[in-house]
Structure 1
Amino acid sequence: MFVGRAEELQFLQDRFTARGGQLVILYGRRRVGKTETLRKFCQGKSHVFYACTESPDEQQLTAFSERMLQKGLPAAQYIKRFSDWTQALGSVAELPGEEKKLLVIDEFPYMVKGNGAIPSILQNLWDEKLKNENVLIILCGSAMSFIEKEILAEKNPLYGRATGILKMKAMDFYDAIQFVPHYSSLDKITTYAVLGGIPHYLKQFDDSLSLGENIRLNILSRGSILYSEVEFLMRQELRETATYNAIIEAVAMGNTRMNDIHQKTQIEKTKLSVYLKNLIDLGVLTREFPVADGVKAQANIQRGVYQVTDSFFRFWYAFVFPNLSELEAGDAEGVWRYVVKPELDRYTSYVFEDICRQYLRRKNRKNALPFRFTKIGRWWNKTDELDIMATDQNKQRFLLGECKYKNSAFNLSELRQMQAKFMPKDKNNRIDYWLFSKSGFTDEVIRAAVEQGIQTVTADQLIE
């Protein structure tokens, strides 16, 4: 079952129908669904799909040659293997057919690691010939730091040649929950809180089983795919994994400011800032600022808070990593019952805020809000915090939101507390209030919402 990725597929289709040669670089973290998306795009099109392997250069050239020559190239009458990469890569222009010649090279970094001259060879071919041919070449890779530093960086041969660069990200909430269609609204929300929007992870859950059974069987049990997934990814991308583990665990457990992370890990601040930057570059962490902050405030290294971007990383470091000894001893049931289950609602509440922001982004794109916002996120100062703040470009209109993920209804006291947290400097500025609640709203809040034009959204409405 292929789910979502409509924007990515449309992007690739636009490149396919564009005039002239097209060179696209598509990359993103492992398991995000790049290969499946490319295979979906290639359906119904004459194409060559070559998946690179970690193998010596001569072996790679032989395998690539065989793949190309199988497609009816004129050279196939005379040779069984191209003599070099210039001939092999250049042969894409000779593929038969009238439509655009489509070549996908999956895990391109493996090819480059076997022969560092390949980017230069491709650059020369592109400049001299291929950019004027009816071809679409897609270079795909999972090693994000390699792609960004060795392929896209300014001093490298292919810099400036790409006609499209797409960094694939995790699916949003609305695409992700299509993997568990039989779950209730609350179980869909919790599934997303645990697994995020990575298709490979979502495929591990069976919605004919309870959420607890899926977590116990597919995450907490030794031998399951997700049990060791984070450790595998960390070793693939980083050295000093013990140091990075300590940092991510600290952030996942709620130490979100630079000084808090320093106190928890005892890593020197100058080194810590480098480690944090590396994790941000990899998409594991993000640095968040209050929506109302300007560029100058964001330049201050002491401002902002760090969050674990990937939901599954956050879950793993919050519940799996601290309990590895018990899990290695086979006590998945005990860790689920006494560690994970009692904390799951509190853990989900943080992701619930992000889901509510995604809901508003969708409405914003459809022009279904009182104004078109250009920025959305959280807001806080020294004493107060708002789960959602969105504002227009001139900061004259504000949308403020509060998200309650608890087993009691949103009450009037909570509404009044929210409304007292933020007052714009200009009295002419307008504020629209949105309330989101797992367990609905009291009658008083519903009456106040009608009187004051406040929007209320339940968990079921969030998904509908």
Structure 2
Amino acid sequence: MKYSFVNREKELNFLKDKYSSGSSELIIIYGRRRVGKTELIKQSLANTQCRTLYFLGELQKEKQLTSLYSRIAGLTLNDEFIQNNPQNNWHALLDYLTRIMEDGSTVLVFDELPFIYKSNPNFISILQFFWDEKWKDMDIKLILCGSSISMMQRIALSYSSPIYGRRTGQIHLHPLSFLNFRELFSNWMYEDIVDAYATLGGIPRYAQEFDSRKSFHENILNALLDKDAFLYKEAEFLLMEELRDFTNYFSILKAVAMGKNTFSNISNFSGIAPNKLYAYISRLVELNILRRDIPVTVPKEKSTRVGNYVLHDYFFRFWFRYIYPNSSLIEIGRSDIVLSLIKGDFNRYLGPVFEDIASELLQNCSISGKFPLFTKWGKWWHKDKEIDIVALNELSTDIIFCECKWQNKMVDKKLIMDLMEKSDHVIWRNKERTDHYAVVSKSGFTKAAIRFAKDHNVYIFTLNDLVPPNDNGIIR
């Protein structure tokens, strides 16, 4: 599929404001690979009046890299001297560029910063020197961008970094939300878009591997179940960039993908002792690969006692549930068997993803005033009872309980009645709160459910009710 740049208005406006600030700016941009950081930078520079210098990091020795950047600068600035006389070290190159940048406003970009750092770990200290001694008093916009989240945190954001305390802004670029992701598949029906979102995880680059003219299952076969396909080994390559001791990390992620969500269950499934497991899990949470859910009504001071771990990144969730465990079948060309396994399990897999999508859409409704404002969103469970979405407002004492059903049959009134019964078990300001109820259904509601919901002031929605029209005014 042809690449399409969507959304990112907030980040674009932030960068454009920085470009026109009239003062020096040091901006850190980071996020997982393929999320669209480089494209964001290029889009932000498209109409700027600033002089721009863009350097892409590569794993080369310092002399080779500064020589390459000298030629790029010469071509960009139409400067024959530096083009024909490449500088052979960082100090010489940056000193020459500084003299050029003294006149007018300049955006200076170092993309894939970790690659430059690996070629010369002193590079960050060199940047610190030029920032402190020269650039901070000039109209220079220095952008440092990288995909290795752990390394970007260490070399650019942490207290130990030479440039700590000098940044004037940062962007942690996240995957696209469902509403923005759907713009990449504007000619698909919403059910197919949900399938794609649950598989690709809102990553724009991955959407390019899908052909919008083909069915979802055809795309799965071509883009993920082919051993030569780009996405087949993608999760493995991403983890190799961020982590060591792959065996233990892979065991943990496979455990969570297969529904082992508690600390003890993950330990039992992976065979990793509890006293060692915590460090592994903390690292995965730090990288936004895992997240820890706690019941929304549990106070922060008690949150360490409960919690379920889930794969936060949908692409990793899909990959570790279906690709990694079945790689032997894919390697011998039996992708048909794997696809059959996916078809049989996919609705079950989609359930929690649909809950996240519904939560995103309901939050939009809450903010836009379609029902009361709720300021804290999450899930709730206790013993054998669970509610998919619970949101509350500490000031108004409003609380809403919501069930989400991704199934090929209409929701009947019994589900609504069960939801109302379960809400009585939720302990949160019970004597003063105002209860609200909602149900989101893939396939709609029976007449009895509609009548019951009307009589008891229950909000009922399908995706069509929650998803606003796209740019063509169409709800798909």
Task: Compute the TM-score of the two structures, normalised by the length of structure 2.
Answer: 0.92
Cα distance in 1, alignment partners of residues 52 and 451 from structure 2: 60
How many residue pairs are counted as aligned between the two chains?
A: 460
Cα distance in 1, alignment partners of residues 170 and 97 from structure 2: 20
Does structure 1 residue 215 correspond to structure 2 residue 217?
A: no
Does structure 1 residue 431 correspond to structure 2 residue 435?
A: yes
Equivalent position to 2:20, from 17, 22, 47: 17
Does structure 1 residue 353 correspond to structure 2 residue 355?
A: yes
Unpaired runs of 5+ residues, structure 1, are none
Cα distance, 1:70 vs structure 2: 2.9
Cα distance in 2, alignment partners of residues 193 and 457 from structure 1: 20
Matches within 5 A, 1:52-451: 52-72=57-77, 76=81, 80-82=85-87, 84-95=89-100, 100-300=105-305, 303-337=306-340, 339-371=341-373, 373-394=374-395, 396-423=397-424, 424-451=428-455
Cα distance, 1:99 vs structure 2: 5.8
Give the conservation status (yes or no) of the 8 Å contact 2:73–2:82.
no
Unpaired runs of 5+ residues, structure 2, are 469-476
Give the conservation status (yes or no) of the 8 Å contact 1:90–1:130.
no
CA shift in 2, pair 1:236/1:422, >3 Å: same
Cα distance in 2, alignment partners of residues 71 and 78 from structure 1: 10
Task: Compute the TM-score of the two structures, normalised by the length of structure 1.
Answer: 0.94
C-alpha deviations, 1:37-69, integer Å up to 9, x for none? 111111123411111111111111111222223
- What does residue 472 of structure 2 align with? none
Cα distance, 1:94 vs structure 2: 4.3
Cα distance in 1, alignment partners of residues 219 and 80 from structure 2: 53
Give the conservation status (yes or no) of the 8 Å contact 1:104–1:139.
yes
Give the aligned residue type for 2:247. A
Matches within 5 A, 1:21-32: 21-32=24-35
Runs of 4+ residues over 4 Å off in structure 1: 90-99
Cα distance, 1:82 vs structure 2: 3.1
Superposition CA RMSD, Å: 1.9
Cα distance, 1:221 vs structure 2: 1.2
Cα distance in 2, alignment partners of residues 411 and 366 from structure 1: 28
Give the conservation status (yes or no) of the 8 Å contact 1:292–1:379.
yes
Give the conservation status (yes or no) of the 8 Å contact 1:86–1:121.
yes
C-alpha deviations, 1:295-342, integer Å up to 9, x for none? 111233xx21100011111111111111111111101122112x0111
Cα distance in 2, alignment partners of residues 368 and 86 from structure 1: 58
Q: SS at the partner of 2:67?
A: helix
Give the conservation status (yes or no) of the 8 Å contact 1:72–1:96.
no
Give the conservation status (yes or no) of the 8 Å contact 2:73–2:79.
no
Give the aligned residue type for 2:313. D
Cα distance in 2, alignment partners of residues 18 and 322 from structure 1: 51
Cα distance, 1:33 vs structure 2: 1.0
Q: Identical aligned pairs, as a percentage? A: 33
Cα distance in 2, alignment partners of residues 95 and 348 from structure 1: 55
Q: SS at the partner of 1:249?
A: helix
Q: SS at the partner of 2:27?
A: strand
Give the conservation status (yes or no) of the 8 Å contact 1:218–1:227.
yes
Q: SS at the partner of 1:11?
A: helix
Cα distance, 1:165 vs structure 2: 1.3
Instruction: Say which is worse superposed, 306-315 or 109-118, in terms of deviation.
Output: 109-118
Cα distance, 1:248 vs structure 2: 0.4
